[in-house]
Amino acid sequence: MAMSVDDLRNELVATARRVVESGVLSLSGHGNISLRVPGRDEILFTSGGSLRGLGPGGIVRLRLDGELVEGEVAPMANAVIHMHTAVYQELDDVRCVLHTHSPWATAFAVANRPIECWQEAMAIFGLGAGVPVAAYGPRGSDVAVANIREVLEPGSRAVLLANHGILAFHRTPAETVQVNVVLEEAAQAAIYAGSLGGARLIPREMIEASRVRAEDFVARGPARAV
């Protein structure tokens, strides 16, 4: 049975709460999330500048071309709508997009450096190819959106926005939040590792082996005592 728009609003509120509880937000609490509305060229979008304290009234409905269908969007949130819609237009399997300024990952964005696969969790969660940097363009501008589109590829799960922040996206809200958490931890570990000679990449063949092994354990299901 398909979820109603009200159900999706509640799911988006719960996702915002999960992001806040994960600890990935910057001091300002800034961020925005969107969910694809199944069967329509529409998304639900958080309309304010912060994800803290989000309720159903802080969610609007938009078409994939960015046209507002229902609600009112704050100016700062309005500026980034097309960053979200570009991801949905390019990647059919994406159902949720999350934008944050998570501090450690944003440090790489500010340095214009990609996050590479130097931590096992990245391999396990589909980030083995690393996370590219989309070149800088003013917030939500045609230039910024074009730069995001340029680095998106089938299977992409995140993009660093040069001098700005991070976009994470996946098939489900839970997986999307997990991507942001994994990237934040990997970025933090790499910055700490800098004092020890620098982070080392996982060998390419081991990246694939880690992913396959993790998928195998998921396929087996929970282990139970006999």
pLDDT digits (tens, 9 = 90+) for 154-199: 999 999 999 999 999 999 999 999 999 999 999 999 999 999 999 9
Residue 123 sits in a domain whose CATH number is: 3.40.225.10
- Asked if residue 33 belongs to a domain, the reply is yes
pLDDT bucket at 106, cuts 50 / 70 / 90: very high
The 3-state DSSP class for residue 120 equals helix
- How far is 153 from 129, CA to CA, in rounded Å? 11
Looking at the structure of the chain, the number of domains it has is 1
pLDDT of residue 2: 66
- Asked if residue 195 belongs to a domain, the reply is yes
For residue 199, the enclosing domain spans 5-220
**Residue pair 113/131 in contact by the 8 Å Cβ criterion:** no
- Asked if residue 225 belongs to a domain, the reply is no
Q: What percent of the chain has pLDDT over 90?
A: 76
Which DSSP category does 166 fall into? E
Question: Smallest Cα–Cα separation from 79: which of 164, 170, 157?
Answer: 164
- Asked if residue 117 belongs to a domain, the reply is yes
**Global confidence as pTM:** 0.93
Residues 6+ apart with CB under 8 A from 160: 105, 108, 109, 114, 115, 131, 132, 133, 134, 166
- Asked if residue 226 belongs to a domain, the reply is no
- How far is 173 from 214, CA to CA, in rounded Å? 20
pLDDT bucket at 49, cuts 50 / 70 / 90: confident
